[in-house]
């Protein structure tokens, strides 16, 4: 699958089969995450791979939109380490780019995944910190639920030309 096809056909997958995901595929996902662009190449991220069923099943107690984790093979928590930032405030953007890379890599590798927002919701951030023993200075940013898809979704065209402006902002017709 080429990059454009991966981008255009990726969907948020919330239902999974029971098939396990190999450690080799997990490593490829992590490599993709770490290949993301990063301001000043600071790479202010850490990743927590969650495979233990008891941990995955506890996340919905503090994240109301994470029930798919009960079926997921695993999840990857993307965290920002502000102490690694060279350009303050850019780490969150870098971690978001890493998250998107993981989503696209999962799709390209035949897996399904969905981005679960953690930051800036304090209840979710604190829940992840407590559940996974994350140090207080580390910021949990996003959680990616991953497994083999048990959904069939149709292609959706999200292109909206009325939201494109050239050279300056122009009024749109509604």
The number of beta carbons lying within 10 Å of the beta carbon of residue 139 is 22
pLDDT confidence of residue 173:
62
Cβ atoms 50, 145 nearer than 8 A: no
Cα–Cα distance between 46 and 31 in angstroms, integer? 12
Cβ atoms 94, 102 nearer than 8 A: no
Cα–Cα distance between 147 and 72 in angstroms, integer? 5
- What global pTM score does this model have? 0.94
Per the listing, tokens 């009960």 go with 70
Interval 71-128: pLDDT, tens: 999 999 999 999 999 999 999 999 999 999 999 999 999 999 999 999 999 999 999 9
Fold of 3-163: NADH Oxidase (3.40.109)
The pLDDT confidence band at residue 155, using thresholds 50, 70 and 90, is: confident
120 cis-preceded (ω within 30 degrees of 0): yes
Query: Side by side, which strands form the sheet with 45-50?
Result: 45-50, 74-80, 139-147, 112-117
User: Radius of gyration over alpha carbons of the chain, in Å?
Assistant: 17
Cα–Cα distance between 41 and 151 in angstroms, integer? 37
pLDDT confidence of residue 115:
98
Task: Give CA angle at 26 (38, 119), nearest 5°.
Answer: 50
Confidence check: pLDDT of 172 > 70: no
Mean of pLDDT values over 32-39: 98
3-state class of 73 per DSSP? coil
Per the listing, tokens 């993301």 go with 36
- Domain extents in the chain: 3-163
């Amino acid at each position: 699958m080429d990059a454009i096809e991966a981008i255009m056909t990726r969907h948020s997958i919330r239902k999974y089969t029971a098939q396990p995901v190999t450690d080799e595929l997990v490593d490829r996902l992590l490599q993709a995450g770490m290949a993301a662009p990063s301001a000043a190449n600071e790479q202010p991220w850490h990743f927590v791979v969650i495979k233990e069923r008891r941990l995955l099943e506890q996340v919905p107690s503090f994240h109301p939109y994470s029930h798919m984790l009960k079926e997921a093979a695993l999840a990857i928590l993307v965290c920002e380490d502000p102490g690694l930032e060279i350009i303050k405030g850019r780490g969150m953007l870098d971690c978001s780019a890493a998250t998107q890379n993981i989503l696209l890599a999962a799709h390209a590798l035949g897996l399904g995944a969905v981005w679960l927002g953690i930051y800036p919701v304090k209840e979710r951030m604190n829940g992840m910190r407590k559940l996974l023993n994350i140090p207080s200075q580390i910021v949990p940013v996003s959680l990616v639920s991953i497994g083999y898809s048990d959904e069939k979704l149709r292609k959706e065209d999200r292109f909206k030309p009325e939201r494109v402006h050239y050279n300056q902002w122009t009024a749109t017709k509604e």
